[in-house]
Every structure is written in C-alpha cells, then in structure tokens.
C-alpha cells in the first residue's frame, strides 16, 4: 500500500503577519548612548534656545530620523507637517464665515495639527521638505516661523520648530528659499558620520540631551554674548545687514539685525552650557553665514585676552595664552599700552613679561614686541638685565631674516 503522508494545516496569513510584525519590532528596538556628536549637540542647543532650525542635507542622510530621535529623547510629542503638500491657507488659516460677518468679521481657523499642539502645550513641530514648498507656501510660513501664529491661534512657548530641506539640486521640483524665510532660521548642514551610522545600524545611536546650563553662569553668559556681538559689529558696521547678491546664497544664512539677535542668544546659551568651539562654530556660521561667523569667532578669542595693565602690574605671575596668535596679540597689546603711557617702571615690567613669554612659549613670538619695546627707550633709562636674555633671540631672528633675504635675492638673480 502507498505511504500515507500526514496532512498539515497551513498557518493562517494573520499568524504570519504577526510574526513579521514581531520581527519588525525587534529591528526597531534600538538603544542610545552618550556620544560626542557635534551637529546633534548644535541642534539640541538651538532647540533649547527656542530658535527655529533648518537642517540641510541630501535625501536619505537621516534628517527625519534625527528629529524622531530628538523628540523621543526630549519627551516632546512630534508633529510632522510636509510643507510642500499644503496650501498657503493651511498656514495662514482657513476663513470661516460666521452668523454676522459684517459685525464679527471672518475668523481664520487653524488646522487640526496646530490645535493639537496648543492643547498639548508643548511639542516639536517638524516642517519637512521645506525646499519643495512653492513661494506662496513659503510666504505663508513666515508668520508661523517668526511669530508662531497660525490664523488666530498662537503656539505656546513649549513648542519648538525644526525644519528640513534638500539642496535644490537634489530636491524634487525644488525651489530656493525666499530671503525673508531663510533669515528666520538657524541653518545646520546635516551630514553623516560613518562610525555613528555603523554603530547605529548595529543598534546603538547617539543620545540627544538638552544642554546643562549652569545657573551661576547665566548673568556672565548674557554679558559676554552682548559684549561679543556689540564689540564685533562696532568694529564691522557693514556686517550689520548684508543681503547676498546670489539667489542661492540668499536662501541660506546671512547677516541682518534679526540673525545677529539669534547669534547673540546662541553665544549666550553656548557659554552657559560650556559648549565646545566646534558646536558654536556650526551655530554662528549657520545664522549669519561663514564669513561673518568666522570673523565673530576670531573676535571671541580676543575678548578673553588678559588686560595689558594687569599683566604689567604682575609680569612674573602672568598667565599667557597657549595659542601662538593669541599670545602674539597679548604681547603686542602690552607694548602698545606702554607706548601710550611711557614710564620707566612700565617699560621694565614689559621686558620682564617678554622674558616670561620666552620661558613659556615659542621664542620667535617675542622678537617683534622686543624690537618695538627697545625703540621706546629714552636716553636716561638704564638697560634692564632682562634684555640680555632676549638679545640672543632677537639677534638670531634678525640673522635668519637677513639670510632668508639673501637667498631670495640670489634665486631671483639666477632667474
């Protein structure tokens, strides 16, 4: 007789879908860890400062995933609005005709997502695909981004706004951002880090945390930020407002009174949080542009330089900057201070400071200040003993310069 094969009842499709769902859940189950991530820290700092942020990056770079992770880490309900699929009235409000419009007017009703944010009192509003929104929609977004109003509704202070956009070259039917809208954002270039992506695909992503602000540093942070921005703009008045000439650059960060105010806030927050210079650099350049931002960062270094008068009062205990350009600026400032009020004790103190600089740093940095200081000597002043310690350095430097000049002249003659 033929062998009877036992009949097996097939598993139901619903059962297989449950197993597939379980597998998908396991794949979505990831962990986070504290990890240094400059761009993520810059994003959280701007969110803490309650400034609108715009993430620029190629498709698939992880902008949306970063926002989802940020909302989860900060325990903020995430509301995603695809700007490019909405009409201008979705952001300016839909007109609702009442019983007596001649008396009561026509109110502008907000969309449902705005009502939900107001009811929650807090949240993260994510405006995605901003660069594919047509100009009419961008114009309607102006009031939302700056005043946080949709129709007659005002978003509560607990709502933060973050947007994302693709460069026009890689966006689907993309538009350049209008200058008024672009100037309302902190622009962050979002790129991928190979190690972070690999570790994240392995199940562990960086953890987004709000910056820890030191309460005791808040007044000092505000004073430092105001002094930094105001001192810089006093020296560079043409940078208070400079609208770029090209259409593409107008759609990015550029300096204006509005963006300088945002910069001031970011400097204060970064100072109070003790953020690294790389983080502040991303934020400042993303607010007023690369050129003005880098100039401001350079001026920030000089704000913390020691007072020349304090150094002259105690040259033996002076703390000089380690960085060569900052040390050179300090020494030049001391010599300039002596020149303004030329007195023998101050002249001697400056020589003592140059000796300390020679003992704690590169010798070539004292050559120019020492030469200038020597030229300030009056005939009745005795030469201090400290000059002997510097004489060899100055003489060697001059010899090297003369040798270099002779070699250069010889090379030109040979041609």
Q: Please, which pLDDT band fits residue 414 given cuts at 50, 70 and 90?
A: low
Question: What confidence score (pLDDT) does residue 106 get?
Answer: 66
pLDDT at 265: 96
Lowest mean pLDDT among 60-64, 74-78, 400-404: 400-404
Q: Are 351 and 385 in contact (CB under 8 A)?
A: no
Residue 375: which of 408, 345, 338 has the closest Cα? 338
Ranking 57-71, 310-324, 366-380, 395-409 by mean pLDDT, the lowest is 395-409
**pLDDT for residue 397:** 43
User: Domain-by-domain residue ranges, the chain?
Assistant: 35-96+107-206, 215-303, 308-414
Nearest of 206, 248, 261, 281 to residue 34 by alpha carbon: 206
Task: Give me the pLDDT at residue 127, please.
Answer: 92
Query: CATH class for domain 35-96+107-206?
Result: alpha beta
Residue 388 has pLDDT above 80, yes or no: no
276 or 12, greater pLDDT = 276
79-88 burial, b if ≥16 CB within 10 A, otherwise e? bebebbebeb
pLDDT value, residue 102 = 62
Query: How much is the pLDDT for 175?
Result: 77
Say which residues have a Cβ less than 8 Å from residue 152's Cβ, sequence separation at least 6.
93, 107, 108, 109, 110
Contact 228, 295 (CB under 8 A): no
pLDDT at 89 over 90: no
Tell me if 372 sits within 8 A of 337, measured CB to CB.
no
Question: Between these two residues, 172 and 290, which has the higher pLDDT value?
Answer: 290
Please state, rounded to an integer, the average pLDDT across all residues of the chain: 83
Q: Per residue in 276-314, pLDDT tens?
A: 999 999 999 999 999 999 999 988 877 778 888 888 988
pLDDT tens string 308-355: 888 898 888 888 888 888 888 888 888 988 999 999 999 889 888 888
Say which range, 3-17, 53-67, 78-92, 130-144, has the weakest mean pLDDT.
3-17
354 to 214, 277, 360, 389: CA distances (angstroms): 37, 29, 10, 10
User: What are residue 68's phi and psi, to 5 degrees?
Assistant: -65, -40
- Of 215, 227, 226, nearest to 305 by C-alpha is 227
User: Has residue 98 got a pLDDT over 70?
Assistant: no
Residue 331 contacts residue 373 (beta carbons within 8 Å): no
Q: How confident is the model at residue 383 (pLDDT cuts 50, 70, 90)?
A: confident
pLDDT value at position 370?
A: 85
Question: How far from each other are the two terminal CA atoms of the chain, in whole angstroms?
Answer: 107
What distance in Å separates the CA atoms of residue 261 and residue 258, rounded to the nearest whole number?
A: 5
Residues 6+ apart with CB under 8 A from 148: 154, 155, 159, 161
Q: What is the pLDDT of residue 3?
A: 56
User: What gap in Å lies between CA 163 and CA 83, rounded to an integer?
Assistant: 9
Question: Are residues 47 and 162 in contact, defined by beta-carbon separation less than 8 angstroms?
Answer: yes
In angstroms, the CA 209 to CA 73 distance is 7
| pTM (predicted TM-score) | 0.74
């Amino acid at each position: 007789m033929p062998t009877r094969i036992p009949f097996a009842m097939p598993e139901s499709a619903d059962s297989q879908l449950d197993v597939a769902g379980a597998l998908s859940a396991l794949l979505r189950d990831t962990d986070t860890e504290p990890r240094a991530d400059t761009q993520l820290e810059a994003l959280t700092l701007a969110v803490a400062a309650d400034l609108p942020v715009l993430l620029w990056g190629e498709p698939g770079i992880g902008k949306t995933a970063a926002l989802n992770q940020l909302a989860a880490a900060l325990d903020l309900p995430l509301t995603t609005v695809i700007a490019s699929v909405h009409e201008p009235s979705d952001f300016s409000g839909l007109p609702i005709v009442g019983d007596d419009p001649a008396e009561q007017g026509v109110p502008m009703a907000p969309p449902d997502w705005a009502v939900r944010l107001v009811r929650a009192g807090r949240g993260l509003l994510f405006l995605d695909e901003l660069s594919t929104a047509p100009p009419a929609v961008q114009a309607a977004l102006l009031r939302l981004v700056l005043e946080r109003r949709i129709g007659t509704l005002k978003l509560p202070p607990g709502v933060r706004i973050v947007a994302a956009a693709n460069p026009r070259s890689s966006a689907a039917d993309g538009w350049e951002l209008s200058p008024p809208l672009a100037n309302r954002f902190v622009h962050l270039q979002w790129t991928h880090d190979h190690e972070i992506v690999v570790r994240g695909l392995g199940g562990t992503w960086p953890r987004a945390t709000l910056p820890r602000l030191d309460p005791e540093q808040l007044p000092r942070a505000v004073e430092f930020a105001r002094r930094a921005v105001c001192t810089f703009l006093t020296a560079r008045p043409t940078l208070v407002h400079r609208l770029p000439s090209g259409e593409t650059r107008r759609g990015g960060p550029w300096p204006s009174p509005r963006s300088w105010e945002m910069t001031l806030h970011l400097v204060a927050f970064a100072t109070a949080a003790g953020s690294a210079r790389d983080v502040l650099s991303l934020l400042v350049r993303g607010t007023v542009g690369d050129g003005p931002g880098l100039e401001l960062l350079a001026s920030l270094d000089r704000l913390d330089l020691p007072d020349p008068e304090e150094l002259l009062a105690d040259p033996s205990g002076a703390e000089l900057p380690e960085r060569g350009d900052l040390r050179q600026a300090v020494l030049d400032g001391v010599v300039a201070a002596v020149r303004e009020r030329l007195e023998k004790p101050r002249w001697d103190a400056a020589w003592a400071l140059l000796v300390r600089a020679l003992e704690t740093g590169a010798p070539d940095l004292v050559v120019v200040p020492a030469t200038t200081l020597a030229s300030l000597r009056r005939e009745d002043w005795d030469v201090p003993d400290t000059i002997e310690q510097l004489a060899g350095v100055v003489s060697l430097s001059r010899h090297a310069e003369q040798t270099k000049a002779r070699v250069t002249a010889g090379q030109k003659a040979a041609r």
